[in-house]
Amino acid sequence: MAGWSCLVTGAGGFLGQRIVRLLVEETELQEIRVLDKVFRPELREEFSKLQSKIKLTLLEGDILDEQFMKRACQGTSTVIHTAAVIDVFNVLPPETIMNVNLKGTQILLEACAQASVPIFIYTSTIEVAAPNSYRETIQNACEEEHLETSWSAVYPRSKKLAEKAVLAANGWALKNGGTLYTCALRPTYIYGEGNPFLHGFIDHALRNNGILPRNSKFSIVNPVYVGNAAWAHILALRALRDPEKAPNIQGQFYYISDDTPHQSYDELNYTLSKEWGFSLDSGMSLPVSLKYWLGFLLEMVSFLLSPVYRYQPPFDRHAVTLLNSVYTFSYKKAQQELGYEPLFSWEKAKQNTTEWVGSLVEQHKKALKTETH
C-alpha cells in the first residue's frame, strides 16, 4: 500500500496533536488529514510548519455532518478516530455527549465503508471497563478478564457503545469489495503537557496560595504519558498494515499504560508541580462512603429539579468512584501483539510535564504584572 494517507479526527485535541506529530515520521505516508471542529491559531501555525515535511490538510467541521465526513474519508487509507467529548463530571447535556461519542463514531464508520477505507483505529478509554465500585480492587487487569462498566453515566456509556460499534464493524464489506479492519485502544488516564485537567488544577492552585485540591487520595491508578498513548496508535496502525500481524489485531481492544508509578491522582498532580512550590491541601477529607452517599443525594436533587431547572451537582457517585478506586491495567497484550514499548520513560515524561507546569506559572506571573501596571 505504497503512498498511503491518514485521517486523524480530534487532531486539535490533547492526544490528537501528538499522534499527528508522530505520523509525520511514518514512511511512505503522503498525506495527513487533520480534522476537528475548530483549530486554535497557534495550532494552525504549528501544523503549517509540518507542511514542509508532508502534505497536511486541515479540515474544520462537525463530526455529525455526514456529507462532510464522507468527503473527509474519500481517498483515505486509514482513520485514527480520537475525537470525543470527555466529560467525567456531567457538565454537558447528555445528548451532546451521546451524539458526538456514539453517533459521530457510527457516521464515521459508515463514511469509511462508503469511501472504502480499510483501517480504522478507535481511541477508547479504560472507563469502558472500570471502576464499578470504590470497594472493588482491580490490579494489573488484562484484556482476557473482559471487564465492563455497569455505570449508566453518559460518558462511559457513550464510549462503551461506540467501542462496541467499532469492533462489530471489523470485517465489514467496503464499497470497492475490500474489507474494513478495526481495533480499539483503551488508554489509562492520560497526563502530560496540555492536559486540560492538570491545567485546571494548576489554575485553581495559583488562585489559592499554591494549594492543589485533594479529591482522590484513596485512588491507585497507573496513568499513561500522552507521548506513549500517541505512540501506541502509531504501532496499532503499523500492525494493521502488516499482513502478518494484522489477523491477530483485527477486532481486538488493548489497554495502554506505561511505566509511570502506580499512585493516586493527587500524588501525580503533586509530583508534576511540587518543583514550582505547589503543595497538596492538608485539610480533612470526608470518608469515601459518606462522599458517595452525598453524591447520591445531589443526584436526587438534580433529578427532582430537572423539570424546572438544570442543577449541576459538584460531584456524583460516578465521580466519587472514579476518583477513589484502585484500578490499574497491564499493557502486556499491546506489548506482545503491537510491539508496544513506551517511547518515553517516567523520568522524561515527568520532566516534560513539570516544565510545562512551569510555563503556566510564568504565564500567571506575567498576567499579574500586567494587571498591576
Convert the pLDDT of each residue in 205-217 to its tens digit.
999 999 999 989 8
User: Is omega for the bond preceding 223 within 30 degrees of 0, making it cis?
Assistant: no
Cβ atoms of 218 and 136 within 8 Å: the answer is no
- For range 64-75, the mean pLDDT: 96
- Does domain 4-202+223-265+329-344 fall into CATH 3.40.47.10? no
**∠ CA(31), CA(36), CA(40), 5° rounding?**
105
Cβ atoms of 9 and 16 within 8 Å: the answer is yes
- For range 336-340, the mean pLDDT: 97
Whether 225 sits among the annotated catalytic residues: the reply is no
> Which phi and psi (to 5°) does residue 57 adopt?
-105, 120
Query: Given this model, what pLDDT does residue 1 score?
Result: 45
> Interhelix angle for 196-206 vs 346-372, to 10°?
40
Taking only the tens place, the pLDDT of each residue in 137-167 is 999 999 999 999 999 889 999 999 999 999 9
Taken in order 297, 301, 302, 304, the sign of the CA dihedral is positive
Tell me the three cell numbers of residue 35: 480534522
Strands 181-187 and 211-212: unpaired
How far does the chain reach from its first CA to its final CA, in angstroms? 60
Choice among 155, 265, 327, 340 that is catalytic: 155
CA–CA separation, 181 and 171 (whole Å) = 6
Closest CA to 110 of 66, 65, 71: 66
Query: Given this model, what pLDDT does residue 101 score?
Result: 97
Strand partners, 33: 7, 57
Taking only the tens place, the pLDDT of each residue in 264-293 is 999 999 999 999 999 999 888 889 999 999
- For range 73-84, the mean pLDDT: 97
Domain residue extents for the chain: 4-202+223-265+329-344
Reading phi first (left if > 0) and then psi (alpha if -120 to 50, else beta), residue 125 is in beta
Residue 193 has, within 13 A of its CA and on its CB side, a CA count of 14
List the alpha helices (DSSP H) in the chain. Answer: 14-23, 41-50, 66-73, 94-98, 104-115, 154-168, 196-206, 226-241, 246-249, 265-271, 288-305, 317-323, 332-338, 346-372
